[in-house]
Structure 1
């Protein structure tokens, strides 16, 4: 019988720990979020609201870190709820651009305070300095 020398400890692995932290955050999101938005839908609405110019579905997907198929599904669900609308691009008639509607803006504005609380609760076990450092480190990983 050979002795194990890899010293792999699951509880010290970045992927395992990130998944646990994500599960905790998602439980908070599910418990606290009103308005019927999923995290990808929230991110999509937020990116559309902050866009200074028309944005294509592909570009939007890149901005929120989603693949094309996921972006398509999120966009379809937001269109059905009339939170966004789509128009043919004025310059490239083969391309479509997405916009947030007034209803989408109102919904986003109503849930932003909840999102702040969810983020604060997720980070609550850390000191303010640790929270800042943690977010900086996460940004470096992405």
Structure 2
């Protein structure tokens, strides 16, 4: 049993690396990086502070601040007043940022469909169930 789990962990790390490279390639077609894509996605629903976005993404505040600054400089995001904290502005998408995010997501949907078809939709569903159970076991 332990050997199977160790092999699964190795497979998951390998898959994660391949998915990161694929994500970088998808984002690059719009002149972005995967980190910028992830940040655009996390602020696409509601404007967030940099610390809030960092917590959601599971990365450091400093890394998110750097990406936020780049996106603001490029006109894809903007800083807006935060009524709850005057020294920690909210970061929001601009119309250009929404357009870039939509184009990246559209490219990603095509790739996700290809991958799901290659593995088989039921296999993907089964894998998701297993991953959710393992996640719950690790959290509990």
Q: TM-score per shorter chain, which class?
A: 0.7 to 0.9
TM-score of the pair, normalised by structure 2: 0.77
TM-score of the pair, normalised by structure 1: 0.76
Q: Distance in 2 between matches of 1:138 and 1:36?
A: 32
C-alpha spacing 1:35/1:61, structure 2 compared with 1 (3 Å): same
Aligned residue pairs, count: 133
> Which structure dedicates a bigger proportion of its chain to helix?
2
Q: Secondary structure at the match of 1:92?
A: coil
Q: Give 1:78-93 correspondences, 5 Å limit.
A: 78-93=71-86
- The answer on whether the counterparts of 2:24 and 2:34 sit within 8 Å (CA) in structure 1 is no
Q: Distance in 2 between matches of 1:139 and 1:77?
A: 34
C-alpha spacing 1:43/1:136, structure 2 compared with 1 (3 Å): farther
Q: Give 1:58-69 correspondences, 5 Å limit.
A: 58-69=51-62
The unaligned stretches of length 5 or more in structure 1 are 1-6
The unaligned stretches of length 5 or more in structure 2 are none
Is 1:50–2:45 an aligned residue pair?
Answer: yes
| Root-mean-square deviation over aligned CA pairs | 2.6
**Which gives a bigger RCO, structure 1 or 2 (Cα 8 Å, sep 6+)?**
1
Q: Distance in 2 between matches of 1:8 and 1:91?
A: 50
Is 1:40–2:35 an aligned residue pair?
Answer: yes
Question: Could you list the per-position Cα deviations for residues 49-85 of structure 1 after superposition, in whole angstroms to 9, with x for gaps in the alignment?
Answer: 112xx42111111222222122112112211211101
